[in-house]
């Protein structure tokens, strides 16, 4: 029991690692601030393309969505970060992470938006068009607000996944929170810094996980 506590919950090591981990936290938050909005916006475009009446837009989009849902995000990241330099394209780790995750996240967010848009009865679009709104206006002001409300739990739960995903950036040596914690771990030979980082992830994400649960219960009833 003492060994367990010493290995995972050594408070003095945690205290020593705290500044480093907090530094990583800022990087994690910066990543989220870039990756989440990009994913949400990219996903919306992807969804609209996947629902396009034009076949030559719709089918390639769906094929790309499925391709990026089939590839592990870490594979995408390593492809972009370690692969592209062989073709003469060298990206800053932050940019590589943002780009690789955009491909992954846009596919996932896109599927969620698409399900949301499909859940809005066609009569809504028809009613909006009959009042003289253009296709784009009707989509923006009538269909999308309902679509987003219908899939809000899924959007939030995917955002939780995206935040967790930023930890993969540690693999390409971007100094986000898990990377910093693991660095502290390797210096101290003690897992407590990772427990500290896990505690911070939990503090950020547990409320969101609970929120999703509450949403889902409300929608079920």
Contact residues toward other proteins (CB under 8 A) are: 3-4, 7-8, 66-67, 69-75, 78-79, 82-84, 86-88, 160-161, 164-168, 170-171, 178, 181-182, 185, 189-191, 194-195, 197-198, 201-202, 205-206, 208-210, 213, 216-217, 220
Neighbours of 124 (CB within 10 A): 14
What's the min distance (Å) between Cβ of 205 and other proteins? 4
Helices 152-165/192-220 angle, 10° precision = 170
What's the min distance (Å) between Cβ of 20 and other proteins? 15
- If the CB atoms of residues 113 and 138 are measured against other proteins, the closer one turns out to be 113
- Pick from 143, 132, 184, 131: nearest CA to 48: 143
What's the min distance (Å) between Cβ of 134 and other proteins? 30
- If the CB atoms of residues 144 and 168 are measured against other proteins, the closer one turns out to be 168
- If the CB atoms of residues 14 and 128 are measured against other proteins, the closer one turns out to be 14
What's the min distance (Å) between Cβ of 119 and other proteins? 11
- The tokens describing 22, both together, are 């907090």
Neighbours of 32 (CB within 10 A): 17
DSSP secondary structure letters along 95-152? HHHHHHHHHHHHHHHHHHHHHHHHHS-HHHHHHHHHTT--HHHHIIIIIHHHHHHHTH
What's the min distance (Å) between Cβ of 69 and other proteins? 5
- If the CB atoms of residues 144 and 165 are measured against other proteins, the closer one turns out to be 165
Is-contact 34 98, C-beta < 8 A?
A: yes
């Amino acid at each position: 029991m003492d060994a367990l506590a010493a290995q995972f919950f050594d408070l003095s090591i945690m205290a020593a690692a705290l500044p480093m981990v907090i530094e990583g936290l800022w990087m994690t938050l910066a990543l989220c601030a870039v990756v989440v909005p990009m994913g949400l916006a990219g996903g919306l475009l992807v969804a609209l393309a996947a629902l396009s009446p034009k076949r030559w837009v719709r089918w390639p989009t769906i094929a790309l969505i499925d391709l990026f849902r089939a590839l592990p995000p870490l594979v995408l990241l390593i492809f972009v970060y370690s692969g592209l330099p062989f073709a003469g394209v060298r990206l800053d780790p932050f940019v590589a992470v943002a780009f690789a995750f955009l491909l992954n996240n846009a596919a996932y967010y896109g599927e969620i938006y698409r399900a949301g848009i499909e859940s809005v009865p066609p009569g809504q679009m028809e009613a909006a068009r009959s009042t003289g709104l253009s296709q784009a206006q009707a989509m923006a002001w009538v269909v999308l607000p309902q679509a987003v409300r219908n899939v809000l739990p899924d959007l939030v739960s995917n955002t939780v996944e995206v935040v967790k995903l930023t930890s993969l950036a540690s693999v390409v040596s971007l100094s986000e929170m898990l990377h910093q914690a693991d660095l502290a771990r390797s210096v101290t030979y003690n897992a407590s810094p990772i427990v500290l980082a896990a505690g911070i992830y939990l503090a950020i994400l547990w409320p969101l996980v609970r929120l999703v649960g509450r949403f889902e219960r409300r929608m079920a009833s």
